Chains A and B, each alone.
Chain A
Amino acid sequence: MNDFLAARSQMALSLGFHIVFSCIGMVMPFFMAVAHFLYIRTGNDTYKNITRAWSKGVAIFFATGAVSGTVLSFELGLLWPEFMKHAGPIFGMPFSLEGTAFFIEAIALGFFLYGWGRFNQWFHWITGVVVGISGLVSGILVVAANAWMNSPAGFDFVNGQYLNIDPIKAMFNDAWFSQALHMCIAAFAATGFAVAGIHALMILRRRNIAFHTTAFRIPALFACIAAVLQPLSGDISAKDVAHRQPAKLAAMEAHFKTESASPLVIGGIPDPVAKEVKYGVEIPGLLSFMVYSDFHTPVKGLDQIPEDEQPPVAITHYAFQVMVGLGMIMLAIAACYFVAIIKKKSWLRMPWLLRLFVIATPMGFIAVEAGWTVTEVGRQPWIINGVMRTADAVTPMPGIVYSFYMFTAVYISLSLIVTFLLYRQIRMVPEIYDIKTPAL
């Protein structure tokens, strides 16, 4: 492994790790707020216990997300100094605002976690909501910064110089809205399915059924609404990418040839040498329709993009297929769930419905990682689309391979410990959260 590949891998690993924790950190507070609200309104202790059980999880995930986020703010400079030297002053605006949002989140979390019985209950409830809102705002701001790398704005690039910098324009670049929307909905779907899946598993195992059934409903509803909305936001994103980054879209679709009535390729193994897709299913004209709402307009293929400006086709295509495929499965589960709650109440007691949710537990997060891969690998070879190449941004320091190995070891251990802690929290539900005579 050379240093450049090691730097890219370390960055991918750090972001891929952080994204899971930040999704949970920004979505779980809303689930808690709903449970907490129901507790205050109904006085039912089960809701209070659910809120408390979830808040333990949030504390664990928030701390891990906070440290991995701190690491990222340094890694940008440690790995990509040439990029940060020029990009920092341009796309820094969302980061400086994100600092505030993150700070507010940490303060509100302190109030929320330690505020039981100390404050007016509505004040306490609001601090929980503030945790969620500031987390969501943080997420949107960070994604806006990433969107700038896909859709650079707010400066003039003249003879290698970055002139007339306008950080506000850079923040509100063309991609910020579609990317942020897609990411936020993804966070709700992924976290919702993960949490609902765990509670569904516990119900199927006949543990604390009443507790887990009540807990299951909140994330399941959020997840299913998000799963229905996500294809719509995906459509907005795809049209946007086709318009701004034709190379990325071509790689996502493994679309080698520009032709009238461009086909949509589903699955298949792209062969970048022969410039064709083997074993894929082609639906003629559908890609043209999805991008231009017209079956005949040709969509720009990889043949119109210079060889040295093409992203790796296979990885981008596979990742995109995984994301869309999982999205479709989650959409189908959501459809079943809506039928169940609206028309066929009897389905709610059927084990197969719960089993579907159990199977879907990791799906949202796999889709999130796949989507992140699409947006990052699909932008290559650029770090700032069309302006700076990733290879020109990397640190001159040799030996990044070792740093990559160490970070890998640290993140693997952390993932194991967090999983272990979560397992223990769930195993202790009967003793701590679902007791007949509450100790509190």
Chain B
Amino acid sequence: MIFVVMAYLWAAILLYILLGGADFGAGIIELFTSEKNKAYTRNTMYQAIGPIWEANHMWLIIAIVVLFVGFPEIYTTISTHLHIPLVIMLFGIIARGTAFTFRHYDAVKDNMQKVYNRIFVYSSFVTPFFLGVIAGSAVSGRIDPAANNFLDAYVYTWLNWFSVTVGFFTVAICGYLAAIFIIGETDDENSRVRFIRKAKQMNLAAAVFGALVFWAAHAEGIPLDKWMFDNPVGIIAIVAAILSLAVLWYMLLRKGKVIIIRVLAGFQVTMILLAITIRHYPNIVILKGGQYLSLLEHAGQEKTIQSLAMALLLGSLLILPALFYLLYSFRKSDIVEH
């Protein structure tokens, strides 16, 4: 049963990166779009994510609930030592979710729209940035449960080059996913070309920040290159990601099928997550001094894990068909607005 729970945790994180990430990316793309195209981009994005955005963010809740029910020590260690970035991320989540809804449901469309827009785009940047920072910090080996001064225990755990570059890398990935997604959501040829260019830019940004992550890891003494490339799964995953990226660029240039482009982008992100997580399996938090928090050793008692697994299985029987039908029903951007 523990493996069922672990699989769900991994899947929830992956789906949150893919769906929630594309959702954050909507704001990131808006932030990096020129003033004259902003309104069009915003509307296209809204049409695409309006009905599904709430559901996209549920994956975070699933992941966090799995952690605090099944792996309480991992949950409490992270929430104690990464308290500050978590709080900033939460402010981002509050600001983004409410601004997105408020700008649409404000009965009067006046200057307040500018306020909502600004809050939405900045929080769309800040939230995934700190999600990345938190993820980077979890494996950075900086969390020191024995630290006895404020800075070591609560600040340097996340304020380091490695965590910060992972944060930027996450933002770039979100923007990339959103740009790929939005290509298929417009019928206007000019906009299509513009979105394809945006996707290429975001892809390059991700590559640059990805390289910076390796540089930062090296500078901070984190053996990231070894983690990624000293095992066959890691190597295969990274090679597959690069090959699929080549195919994707070819498709972008040749105006290939949108669905294939989307699948390829999703595949790359999946492979990156796989390469990062497989080497440390079953550990998900690396503490100072090489100690680990492991999903196997730090799991809750047998009965807890069993009932958690049952709840997840039961939940997915209900959720997945409904979610697929939702995505299917609103797959085209021809929503009648009421």
Contacts and interface: CB of A to CB of B under 8 A. Distances in A.
Contacts of B236: none
B10 to A, nearest CB: 16
Interface stretch (A73-81, A225-233, A276-284): A73-81
A397 B83 CA distance: 8
Contacts of B80: 77-78, 81, 395-397
Given A78-B83, A96-B312, A114-B51, A66 B106 contact: no
A109 B311 CA distance: 22
Decide if the interface of chain A is mainly helix, strand, loop or mixed: helix
B94 interface: yes
Given A77-B75, A102-B58, A59 B108 contact: no
B40 interface: no
Decide if the interface of chain B is mainly helix, strand, loop or mixed: helix
Contacts of B330: 110, 114
Interface string A383-411: 00000000000011111000100100010
A392 B48 CA distance: 47
Contacts of A56: 105, 107
A168 interface: yes
A71 B94 contact: yes
B322 A108 contact: yes
Interface in B294-338: 300-301, 303-304, 307-308, 311-312, 314-315, 318-319, 322-323, 326, 329-330, 335-336, 338
Interface string A105-120: 0111111011011110
A113 B100 CA distance: 15
Given A106-B54, A106-B58, A395-B83, A410 B94 contact: yes
Interface string B195-220: 00000000000000000000000000
Interface stretch (B60-68, B169-177, B179-187, B249-257): B60-68
A166 interface: yes
A52 interface: yes
Nearest to A116: B338
Contact of A60 (B52, B91, B101): B101
Contact of B97 (A66, A73, A74, A85): A66
A406 B91 contact: yes
B139 to A, nearest CB: 19
Contact of A110 (B55, B153, B154): B55
Interface residues of A, number: 71
B335 to A, nearest CB: 6
A380 B97 CA distance: 34
Nearest to B335: A114
A92 B69 contact: yes
A63 B90 CA distance: 14
B307 A93 contact: yes
Contacts of B86: 74, 78
A99 B107 contact: no
The 10 nearest A-B residue pairs measured at CB: A92-B69, A77-B79, A100-B315, A89-B300, A63-B101, A81-B76, A88-B72, A96-B311, A106-B54, A428-B107
Interface of B: 50-52, 54-55, 57-58, 60-62, 64-66, 68-70, 72-73, 75-76, 78-80, 83, 86-87, 90-91, 93-94, 97-98, 100-102, 104-108, 150, 153-154, 300-301, 303-304, 307-308, 311-312, 314-315, 318-319, 322-323, 326, 329-330, 335-336, 338
